Structure 1
Amino acid sequence: MPDLTLIVILVIALALVFDFTNGFHDTANAMATPIATGAMKPKVAVGVAALLNLVGAFLSTEVARTISGGIITEGENGVLITPELIFAGLIGATVWNLITWLRGLPSSSSHALFGGLIGAAIIGIGTNAVDYGVVASKVVLPALLAPLIAGLIALIATKLAYSITRRDLGKPDGRGGFRSAQIFSSSLVALAHGTNDAQKTMGVITLTLIAGGFQAAGSGPTFWVIAACALAIALGTYTGGWRIIRTMGTGLTEVKPAQGFAAETSTAATILASSHLGFALSTTQVASGSVIGSGLGRRGATVRWGMAARIALGWVLTLPASAIMGAFAAGLTLLGPIGILLDAVIGTLVIVALFRWSRRNRVTHNTMLNDIDDAGRVVKITKTPRRPGRREKQVSL
């Protein structure tokens, strides 16, 4: 087998690449709705999200401990999984992340990571390498409940917001204030995202160091791991996942400021609670559930259920698809050094090919804004002129 230190370095490098893709893949979770409503300019929004992701990554390590010492079982000599298999799992997770990003699907980076690791562990070691109790309680169950809870909270919050600010006798309804409030609520989501998603890569690197004998079993991430992962996810966030922002901001429902504030607040509350409990939650699923809930909560709003179904299909496929890719890569590692080399070469070629494919139909903050309905920022009701030649009166809500 190749030198263990070299394998660990390769795993850490790929883990940081995955963390980078996680950043731009999940930028939409915090910033899609404020961009869609005009509360924040696109480049400012992703800059704020990047900074708060960086800060959030230092606030908690509970999720990292769930991954480094929970999902993969331990044997007499420590964790059963090897750095080579972790490398294979990361290949599956990264490739699936890029495929869903290319399609503009807000799928779960978390589940891609779990799927890749589980598939690689099963092929490389056997079914006993995975603690299915932890997977069920801290991965699968939160995946089922969190979007529903966040959606219900967003629905109730949206109804309350519109009820409290109901227009009366032609007086201003005060809903314009929600646009400013979105700056706070979306920032809170970005901070919460850092406390949850950045932890997953920390957990993977820590798991690798434990598996390689460089760190004691049961220990948490060291400072340099936390700092490296925080920086990687922040840089990824700053690049802006414009394809997924477009889907989240305009693809599910037409978002108004009151809706956006309600959706972001419910998303942040759900993620922060999960981070505190050590649940490796999918922030993408929570954010999507909140946006749908806010759409159901506003009278006259239409939820695009076709797009919602497409996103849900991506959720269902993520875990098995990334597991299959991780399993295939793990199968190659069983060939020895040549297999690891093949993994590295094939993985690199696929990643480069996906990036080159994305250049054929680029989505930037400018092209994304062209797809946002102006009504997402200002709703205009045009009254029919009473007599010819009279100018139309426009009322902004």
Structure 2
Amino acid sequence: MDSLLVGAIAVIAAALVFDYTNGFHDAANAIATSVSTRALTPRIALGMAAIGNFIGAHLGAKVAKTVGSGVVSLPTGLTALGVVFAGVVGAICWNLITWYFGLPSSSSHALIGGLVGSTLCATLFGVDGTVLWKGIVDSIVIPMVLSPVAGFVLGALLMLAVMWIFRHGHPGRLNRNFRVAQSFSAAAMSIGHGMQDAAKTMGIVVLALYTAGLQDSKTHIPEWVFWSSATVLALGTYAGGWRIIRTLGRRIIDLDPPAGFAAETVASSVLFTASSFGWPISTTQTITSAIMGVGATKKLSAVRWGVAGNIVTAWVLTFPGAALIAAIAYVLARPIF
């Protein structure tokens, strides 16, 4: 079999492994609030999230194009495939590390950091690769910084509006109604997750196909790429990431159904907006910041800021951590590629 084809298969396989880890790592994004408020049982919530991820993947073409062509520029050939492979391995390793410790870090940051780290390392060995810093700043870094800010502020504003509008409502009746409403907000959240995170895997697969010379376009997404990325992400989501679900659903704040609905509604709105512009943002950052914004409206002490601080630390370390692991992975993979 042609070495380029073998290399492309290896990269695509690694990308799908990343997709699966992304699914169980980020399952909490869509369902933690619904499970913690008892709006949905865990298995029903996971099943709904998996279906939503599958649907959302088919709506994420713009995000996929940004990841596939807006992060790094690589020549075609086997050596360049090794760069992509190492970048994905770096992201997978970081996902597993943060999953083990129950930290909801960003799979998006991990993937982008991995690609940047492997590319920079490869240039030290004479590979003609370029990190597209302007594109990363404009389409990735700025939206990734603004999205958690938007999540926090809008979460607080929507929660204040809910509290004011329903200030005379009966607590028991309100909780029952908002549990029903959470079924819809959680579904929207899972679709937004698919639009973002399945799309990032699609972008890597397209980059691998282009680098291997198997297609001429950096942006064309074959139909089988949509289906495979969506299916694997859905399977990973259904496997569940219970450690992170506990962190988001219980350890940041104690959520009630109105708060869960507000957090999910805001987070899904931010994800849909970013996806429409092709901006690959972090679903983890978005929902976590929305949860903290909602909690801060009750009283600042309602948010467990120590846990939140650990999460922020994981966010900060994700990009350089994944980049470092990817650089090591590239050095180890060089004899193969």
**Equivalent residue runs for 1:28-43 within 5 Å:** 28-43=28-43
Residue 273 of structure 2: aligned partner: 273
Q: Which amino acid aligns with 1:110?
A: S
Mapped partners of 2:171, 2:111: distance in 1? 51
Matches within 5 A, 1:196-215: 196-215=196-215
RMSD: 1.9
Q: Does residue 153 of structure 2 align to residue 152 of structure 1? A: yes
Q: TM-score, normalised by structure 1?
A: 0.80
Query: Offset at 1:171?
Result: 8.7
For normalisation by structure 2, the TM-score amounts to 0.94
- Unpaired segments ≥5 residues, structure 1: 341-397
Distance 1:196 1:158 in 2: 25
CA distance in 2, matches of 1:101, 1:264: 22
Task: Summarize deviations over 1:181-239 as a string: whole Å, max 9, x none.
Answer: 00100110001111111000000010011001001133321101111000000000001
3-state SS, counterpart of residue 206 of structure 2: helix
Matched residue SS, 2:254: coil
| Count of aligned residue pairs for this structure pair | 333
Query: 1:312, 1:115 → 2: CA distance?
Result: 16
In structure 2, relative to structure 1, the CA distance for the partners of 1:272 and 1:93 (3 Å cut) is same
Tell me if 1:103 matches 2:101.
yes
1:44 aligned partner: 44
Contact 1:64 1:220 in 2 (8 A): no
Q: Deviation at 1:179?
A: 1.3
| 1:210-229 alignment runs, 5 A limit | 210-229=210-229
Cα deviation, 1:373-397, whole Å, max 9, x if unaligned, reads: xxxxxxxxxxxxxxxxxxxxxxxxx
Where does residue 358 of structure 1 map in the other structure?
Answer: none
Amino acid at match of 1:256: D
Q: Counterparts of 2:27 and 2:239 in 1: how far apart (Å)? A: 9
**Distance in structure 2 (CA, Å) of the matches to 1:141 and 1:300:** 27
Is residue 262–residue 294 contact of structure 1 (8 Å, CA) maintained in 2? Answer: yes
Q: Counterparts of 1:365-376 in structure 2 under 5 Å? A: none
- Give SS of 2:174's match: coil
The reply on whether 1:259 has 2:259 as its aligned counterpart is yes
- Letter paired with 2:311: I
Shift of 1:333: 3.0
Q: Is the 8 A contact 1:198 1:230 kept in 2?
A: yes
Following TM superposition, by how much is the alpha carbon of 1:165 offset from its aligned partner in structure 2, in angstroms? 1.0
C-alpha displacement at 1:128, in angstroms?
A: 5.8
Deviations 1:336-371 (A, max 9, x none): 23xx5xxxxxxxxxxxxxxxxxxxxxxxxxxxxxxx
Does 1 or 2 have the higher relative contact order (CA < 8 Å, sep 6+)? 2
Alignment of 1:276-291 (within 5 A): 276-291=276-291
Q: Secondary structure at the match of 2:288?
A: helix
Deviation at residue 79 of structure 1 after TM alignment: 9.3
Q: Are residue 91 (structure 1) and residue 98 (structure 2) matched?
A: no
Change (3 A) 1:300 1:172: farther
Structure of higher CA gyration radius: 1
Q: Distance between the aligned counterparts of 2:139 and 2:77, measured in 1? A: 19
Tell me the distance in 2 between the aligned counterparts of 1:225 and 1:241: 24
Alpha-carbon distance in structure 1 between the residues aligned to 2:260 and 2:78: 44
Contact 1:59–1:195 (CA under 8 A) maintained in structure 2? yes
Q: Which residue of 1 aligns with 2:25?
A: 25
| Residues in 2 aligned to 1:300 and 1:207: alpha-carbon distance in whole angstroms | 45
Instruction: Give the Cα separation in 2 of the matches to 1:264 and 1:287.
Output: 7
- Residues 79 and 210, structure 1, Cα contact 8 Å, conserved in 2: no
Q: Deviations over 1:264-286 (max 9, x none)?
A: 00000000000010111000000
Change in Cα spacing, 1:298 to 1:220, as seen in structure 2 (3 Å) is: farther
Read off the aligned partner of 1:139 and give its amino acid letter: I
**Are residues 81 and 161 of structure 1, via their aligned partners in 2, closer, same or farther at CA, if it must alter by over 3 Å?**
farther
Separation in 2 of the partners of 1:287 and 1:239? 20
Change (3 A) 1:78 1:128: closer
SS at structure 2 position matched to 1:176: helix
> Which position in structure 1 is the counterpart of 2:115?
117
C-alpha contact (below 8 Å) 1:165/1:175 kept by paired residues: no
Q: Hey, what's the Cα distance between the residues in 2 that align with 1:271 and 1:210?
A: 28
User: Is residue 259 of structure 2 the alignment partner of residue 245 of structure 1?
Assistant: no
CA distance in 2, matches of 1:135, 1:215: 24
Partner amino acid, structure 1, of 2:208: T
Distance 1:172 1:198, change over 3 A: closer
Residue of structure 1 equivalent to 2:318: 318
Q: Distance in 1 between matches of 2:239 and 2:36?
A: 18
- Tell me the CA shift for residue 240 of structure 1: 0.9
Counterpart secondary structure, 2:284: helix
> Which residue number corresponds to residue 178 of structure 1?
178
Deviation at 1:332, TM superposition (A): 2.3
Give 5+ residue unaligned stretches, structure 2. Answer: none
In 1, the alpha carbon distance for the partners of 2:40 and 2:159 equals 20
SS in 1 for 2:70: helix
Q: Using the alignment, how far apart are the partners of 1:42 and 1:240 within structure 2?
A: 9
Q: CA deviation at 1:14?
A: 1.0
Secondary structure of 1:166's aligned partner: coil
Q: Shift of the alpha carbon at 1:67?
A: 1.1
Aligned 8 A contact 1:19 1:198 in 2: yes
